[in-house]
A and B are shown apart, each in its own frame.
Chain A
Amino acid sequence: MTFSPASRSPPASHSIVERLADLWELDVPPELQANLRRHHANLARLAGALRMAGIDSHQIETSVNEVAASYRHELINATDSMVKDC
């Protein structure tokens, strides 16, 4: 069980902010940019929801990082396949 009082959870760490910023540094084709914008906003929303639910900061960081990493992987695959086809 990972719930803990919200007051004991510090704000989302710098690494989450960095992880979100990482996504913006990818050079993605225009077709994928709307999806990237939505995902960026949704990751920020996820981090906020986890914090509001009192999840400890380590779990928040792990969760957001895992989700962002797998999305990033798929985004790179998508970008590669589109660039190859150009």
Chain B
Amino acid sequence: MSDHKLQDEFGRLAALHRFEVLDTPPEEPFDKITALVKTILNVPMCAVSLVDKDRQWFKSCVGMDTRETARDISFCTHTIGAREPMVIENASLDARFAANPLVVSRPFILSYLGVPLETSDGYNVGSLCALDTRPRTFDQQQIDVLKAFAAVVVDEFELLSMVRKDQLTGAASRRAFVEQARRAAARFKRSGAAAAMVMFDLDHFKRINDKFGHPAGDKVLRAVGQCCAALTRADDMFGRLGGEEFAILLSETTNGEAVQMAERFRSSLSDLSIPHDPAIRITASFGVASFTPGCDTAETLFAEADRCLYLAKQAGRNCCCTANAEASPEQTEPPPKRKTQLPTLDDVLSDYASATSRLTDAGAGSKSGAKSTTR
């Protein structure tokens, strides 16, 4: 066990953020554990607390009706500073906590038992804690019970973390990507925060598998993962939706900016030369959509991006299509590196009308407003 990691706050936060769990919805495995701890230790409150830079955020919490508190008043920030559990028998008699708002006002915590949640690489990302509104002691057997539950919590976090990441490409999994899109939709509805989705699909990927074999296909997918990860901004999410279909969720990005980003991804992928004998070249087709009053859920955003991706395929592949009329003036002419002229939706409306299965997801309103941003 490397105790220098107890002082490595940067590494600790990186370990926490690798879980990609902050601000995710409640999940059954954690809620079951907090409920069991509450019963078994006979406490009114229990929480799985993750200690972020400036806050503690509860992945699960019973007995308290809050999802987070400021870090500087949290008990758990003390717990993560050590390898052993922290026991407070009477907070009102402890100089560190006697004036703490969580002690002198709701939820009136008086006793506390917290066990660090230590990742397999030695970072304490949070704690599993049992809390009471009366002074009490916790014996060694009870402490051992909480330690055992804490180990199970870490197992679950690490498992979920693996589920959230596609092991082949390093991209977020479809599940993690959908969760992120739902959070973006909630932010859009709450505050109008712009966000856009760029969805793309590798052109003729099946031919690569058929011609060069599946190991070569995997090599291509890994190369796509590396290329796109390098282009993705810190606040955005790059995900693999399945097979050879990927997407990027762009936060605080207008539709016009998203089209520019899509074009950058398209151009970079078409410039890739993937080592093989012979070297493999790829292209991809892109659909771009953004939140609007008529497209304000993750599901409608996916459907709209997917519809535009389909139009890009119909238009001859290796191009970007979007349904939003907004475009910056410089996008009205093709960039110098473009290999194929991007189509207007008018060019493909006849195909659009005949494309039955995938187009049924798109609403009639968005069809009528559909227009290419670039040509």
**Residues of A with Cβ closer than 8 Å to B?**
1-3, 29, 31-32, 35, 38-39, 42-43, 45-46, 48-50, 52-55, 59, 63, 66-67, 70-71, 73-75, 77-78, 81-82, 84-86
Name the interface residues of B14-31: CB closer than 8 Å to any CB of A: 28-29
Q: Which of B29, B144, B151 contacts A53 (CB 8 A)?
A: B144
B144 partner residues in chain A, CB cutoff 8 A: 49, 52-53
Q: How far is the CA of A84 from the CA of B240 in the complex (A)?
A: 12
A16 to B173, CA, bound (A): 33
In terms of DSSP, what is the predominant structure of the interface of chain B? helix
Query: By the criterion CB–CB under 8 Å, are A81 and B173 in contact?
Result: yes
Give which listed residue, A63, A73, A82, contacts B36 with CB less than 8 A.
A63
Contact of B163 among A39, A42, A59, A74 (CB under 8 A): A74
Q: Is A45 touching B148 in the complex (CB atoms < 8 A)? A: yes
CB nearest neighbor in A for B158: A35
The smallest beta-carbon distance between A74 and chain B, in angstroms, is 5
Given A3-B42, A50-B40, A53-B142: A74 touches B152 (CB 8 Å cut-off):
no
Q: Is the CB of A81 within 8 A of B175?
A: yes
Residues B39 and A2 in contact, CB atoms below 8 Å apart = yes
B159 within 8 A of A: yes
B151-198 with Cβ < 8 A to chain A: 151-152, 155-156, 158-160, 162-163, 166-168, 173-175
Closest to B174 in A: A81
* CA of A86 to CA of B120, assembled, Å: 26
B64 at the interface (CB under 8 A from A): no
Contact call A70/B32, Cβ cutoff below 8 A: yes
B108 in contact (CB, < 8 A):
no
Q: Are B163 and A81 in contact (CB under 8 A)?
A: yes
11 contacts between A and B (CB under 8 A): A1-B42, A32-B159, A35-B159, A39-B159, A46-B151, A50-B40, A53-B142, A54-B141, A70-B29, A81-B175, A86-B168
Q: Which residues of A contact B141 (CB under 8 A)?
A: 49, 52-54
Q: How large is the interface on B (under 10, 10 to 19, 20 to 34, 35 or more residues)?
A: 20 to 34
Contact in complex: B152, A39 (CB < 8 Å): yes
Tell me the dominant secondary structure on chain A's binding face: helix
Residue of A nearest to B35 (CB): A66
Q: Which 10 pairs show the lowest CB-CB distances between chains A and B?
A: A53-B141, A46-B148, A70-B29, A49-B148, A39-B155, A42-B151, A78-B163, A49-B144, A49-B145, A1-B42
Query: Is B240's CB under 8 angstroms from A85's CB?
Result: yes
Q: Are B120 and A38 in contact (CB under 8 A)?
A: yes
Known: A31-B167, A81-B173, A82-B167. 5 other contacts (CB 8 A): A38-B120, A49-B145, A53-B145, A66-B36, A71-B159
Chain B 301-323 per-residue mask, 1 if CB under 8 angstroms from chain A, else 0: 00000000000000000000000
In the complex the two chains form, is B120's CB within 8 Å of A74's CB?
no
Name the A residues within 8 Å of B149 (CB-CB): 46
Give CA–CA (A70, B156) in the complex, Å.
Answer: 9
Interface status of B12 (Cβ within 8 A of chain A): no
Which residues does chain B contribute within 8 Å of A67, judged by CB atoms?
29, 32-33, 36, 152
